[in-house]
């Protein structure tokens, strides 16, 4: 199984119902599409994500992640970078709270929806269609980086490099608790508590939380670049 394939299934296991209430399980019809995937090409991944988003809207709900809402007052305002923003629930939340937001996603359908969601709420999000594994990350350009339900270990240093000194980064992921996982998540893709902590050992951790969100074990970190 490739890392990307694992990632895809991971994401599907966190899919939400169209009502905005997270169901935390994969829609069987969409999952069977993923099961056919074996390659690592971005084009292939893009078409997978597009067909997934075509299948339904508000896949991960409309609400921003709770950990983001709870901790936003601790984050320095300014420019925000939202990699893998999906349909924009978190990016738009940040724009509504005064951030100048750049959001990246592989799926043009997701990016269009995010930009439209922002417009419908009278704010603006700059939508960028790009593959994050092959992206020109600027140096120290953003006050805040927010990542949810997307974890590729090799990208963490890239996400850190874009944070300005004194700026913040927040990561929210599904936890590897050692227990059998919910949904169809392969255990090799879950993120260990210790892995996430170690990834930010050169930053100052302001908050680290392990909790159950809609029946799924998650971990979230808020860290500040010295
Ligand atoms: C589980 S979704 C999470 C979406 C959003 N962060 C949220 O919480 O609502 C993962 C997102 O990562 C995007 N993605 C997957 N691989 C990517 C890549 N290599 N580059 C950019 N985006 C990618 C997918 O298109 C999808 O929108």
Find, among 200, 204, 81, 222, the residue nearest to 141 by Cα: 81
pTM value?
0.85
In this prediction, residue 47 carries a pLDDT of 84
Residue boundaries of the structural domains of the chain = 3-55, 66-224
Instruction: Name every protein residue with a CB atom under 6 angstroms from any ligand 1 atom.
Output: 11, 14, 45, 49, 60, 84-86, 89, 104-107, 110, 131-133, 148-150
State in Å: Cα 164 to ligand 1 middle: 23
In this prediction, residue 45 carries a pLDDT of 78
Q: Tell me: the pLDDT tens digits for 167-187?
A: 999 999 999 888 765 554 455
More confident of the two residues 215 and 218: 218
154: DSSP letter: G
Distances (CA, A) of 170 to 80, 102, 174, 185, 207: 11, 15, 14, 22, 9
Distances (CA, A) of 145 to 103, 161, 184, 185: 10, 10, 28, 25
Would you place residue 210 in the very low, low, confident or very high pLDDT band (cuts 50, 70, 90)?
very high
pLDDT at 9 over 60: no
Which atom, in ligand 1's list, is nearest to the CA of 147? 6
pLDDT at 33 over 80: no
> What integer is the mean pLDDT of 133-152?
96
In this prediction, residue 177 carries a pLDDT of 84
Q: Tell me: the pLDDT tens digits for 34-52?
A: 333 334 577 877 888 888 8
Q: What's the CA gap between 161 and 138, in Å, rounded?
A: 8
Which atom, in ligand 1's list, is nearest to the CA of 133? 19
In this prediction, residue 40 carries a pLDDT of 52
Name the residue with the closest Cα to ligand 1, atom 26.
86
pLDDT at 161 over 90: yes
Q: What CATH number does the domain located at 66-224 have?
A: 3.40.50.150
């Amino acid at each position: 199984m490739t890392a990307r394939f694992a990632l895809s299934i991971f994401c599907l296991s966190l899919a939400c119902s169209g009502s905005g209430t997270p169901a935390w399980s994969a829609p069987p019809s969409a999952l069977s599409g993923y099961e056919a995937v074996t390659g690592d090409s971005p084009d292939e991944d893009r078409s997978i994500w597009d067909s997934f988003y075509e299948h339904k809207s508000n896949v991960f709900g409309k609400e921003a992640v709770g950990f983001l809402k709870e901790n936003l007052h601790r984050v320095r305002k300014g420019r925000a970078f939202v990699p893998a923003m999906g349909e924009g629930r978190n990016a738009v939340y940040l724009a509504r709270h005064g951030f100048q937001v750049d959001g990246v996603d592989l799926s043009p359908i997701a990016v269009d929806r995010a930009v439209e969601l922002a417009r419908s709420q009278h704010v603006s999000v700059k939508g960028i269609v790009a593959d994050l594994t092959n992206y020109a990350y600027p140096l120290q350009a953003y006050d805040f980086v927010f990542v949810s339900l997307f974890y590729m270990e090799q990208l963490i240093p890239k996400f850190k490099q874009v944070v300005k000194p004194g700026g913040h980064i927040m990561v929210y992921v599904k936890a590897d608790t050692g227990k059998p996982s919910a949904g169809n998540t392969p255990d090799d893709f879950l993120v260990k508590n210790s892995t996430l902590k170690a990834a930010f050992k050169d930053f100052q951790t302001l908050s680290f939380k392990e909790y159950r969100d809609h029946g799924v074990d998650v971990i979230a970190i808020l860290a500040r670049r010295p």
